[in-house]
Amino acid sequence: MHGYCFGSLAPVLTPWATAAGCSVTVRMSTTDGNARLPRADTTRTAVLALLGRRGPMSRAQMARQLELSPGAVGLVTKRLIDQGLVEALDAEGAAHHSGQGRPGQLLGLVGRAGRAVGAKVAADRLTMVDMRLDGEVVRSGIEPFDATAPLAVAQLASRLQAFARQDRVPLLGVGVCVPGMVDRPDLGNVEVPALGWSELALGRHLRGALGVPILVENGVKALAFAESLYGLGRSHRTFALVTIGRGIGFAHVAEGLVQRGTYGRAGEIGHCVVDPRGPLCWCGRTGCLEAFAGQDGLVAAARRRGVIGPRGSVETIARAAARGDAGALAVFSDAAGRVGRFVSATLAVLDPEVLLVAGEGSAHWRYWEPAFLSELRSCAPDWSGTVRVEVDSWEDTSWAQGAAAIVLATPFDQRPAAGGLRHQVLARLVDESA
């Protein structure tokens, strides 16, 4: 992703920022399902979430923000410093080791207190990142992986296990994103036709194998999550994201929160029929958006036009387009126009500040852009002309970062998607630090 940076001092960069409004809601909420938190734990959670969301601040600022007495904040922060979760910082943000410090001294989260592994599963590769509590990515790797193989889930578990054990910082959990539907991140039941995974209890399998909290999410939503923390979300609280690549994906972030819908299926636009007379889609229907604009749809269209031979790929089409081949340009233009037209309706429905385009297909954006923008602008309502369109470069690690961030944000996520794992992750953080 362009322009992203990670560091312990950037207040909006930490995954904990997803506890949107948590500095208020956490302290008011003493219940989580049937479990009741002791008052001290509630305050501790509120202090940690506030530091995660706003970045380093003084005890006096915390007391004001949380409407607590300076004495109460002092007690909790002393305990957090003793546990190694929070540290005193000097004016430049460096750790400061002169005791408990003055009331006005800045306190910040200790990145090395905990970490999460995030992974992006694609049909042919696995991308993993190791991300610290303060949002710093310390390791990442991309390796070939056959997600369609019969033992793919067992393989995935062992790859994650091998990657996760390479660091002594406490592992709070593992986040995994997949190119399909996920009922809830904490349950992790997935439906991923593209990988041949049907009614798969991925979360349960991985929890059994790794013995740590596992959160599973749809890839586009994980990417939107990363964007909401490290990218567009820094300046836009409400945005839409469309991804082009093997499939066509969509996500909507409203007021800093990724919208999941009732069953986690919000944004599943790829198999909406845009022309019933269109080509056959691999899902069995005809004329799905993906049948026109997904990777296989582009290849099929290029073959029909004689642009590529039987072994040609999207890269072959792009090379032909680069040479000015009219057929190749028409393949991209037709796909782009259909996606632009479809997405124009979402602008009217969602009224986002910005529309972000991402995904591996964005590498060929110059061939998509003219028809996409033209159809988007001509089909959307007049007022939506002010919606900016931005393109993000494609990096698998960005998706994996989103998956890791979901884990790190979990203790402070008040929405049902966090489920029962909220306290498990928090308990690992506090126990490991004690």
Q: Which residues bind Zn ion (CB under 5 A)?
A: 271, 281, 283, 285, 288
CB of 123 to Zn ion, least distance (A): 16
Which of 273/391 has CB closer to Zn ion?
A: 273
Enumerate residues 6+ apart whose C-beta is below 8 A from 150.
none
Question: What angle is formed at CA 155 by the lines to CA 152 and CA 157, rounded to 5 degrees?
Answer: 110
Instruction: Quickly list H helices, 211-259.
Output: 219-230
Helix (H) or strand (E) holding 246: none
CB of 282 to Zn ion, least distance (A): 7
CB atoms within 10 A of CB 334: 17
Contact 412, 45 (CB under 8 A): yes
CB atoms within 10 A of CB 301: 23
Which of 237/285 has CB closer to Zn ion?
A: 285
Report residue 114 CA to chain centroid gap: 19
CB of 83 to Zn ion, least distance (A): 51
CB of 104 to Zn ion, least distance (A): 59
Enumerate residues 6+ apart whose C-beta is below 8 A from 306.
327
Which of 182/281 has CB closer to Zn ion?
A: 281
Which of 4/197 has CB closer to Zn ion?
A: 197
Which of 292/372 has CB closer to Zn ion?
A: 292
CB of 294 to Zn ion, least distance (A): 9
State the amino acid at position 231 in one-letter form.
G
CB of 432 to Zn ion, least distance (A): 45
Looking at residue 119, the DSSP 8-state letter turns out to be E
Q: Which residues of 350-386 are buried (b: 16+ CB within 10 A; e: fewer)?
A: bebebbbbbbbbbebbebbbebbeebbbebbeeebee
CB of 284 to Zn ion, least distance (A): 7
CB of 21 to Zn ion, least distance (A): 38
Task: Using alpha carbons, list the distances in angstroms from residue 139 to 158, 162, 168, 197, 275.
Answer: 18, 13, 13, 28, 44
Sign of the CA dihedral with 204 first, then 206, 210, and 212 last? negative
Which of 51/248 has CB closer to Zn ion?
A: 248
Which of 172/192 has CB closer to Zn ion?
A: 192
Enumerate residues 6+ apart whose C-beta is below 8 A from 284.
none
Report residue 105 CA to chain centroid gap: 33
Which of 204/285 has CB closer to Zn ion?
A: 285
Best CA proximity match to 123, nearest among 104, 101, 147 = 147
Looking at residue 101, the DSSP 8-state letter turns out to be -
Which of 192/281 has CB closer to Zn ion?
A: 281
Sign of the CA dihedral with 289 first, then 290, 296, and 299 last? positive
CB of 280 to Zn ion, least distance (A): 9
CB of 273 to Zn ion, least distance (A): 8
Phi, psi of 362 (to 5 degrees): -70, -10
Which of 279/312 has CB closer to Zn ion?
A: 279
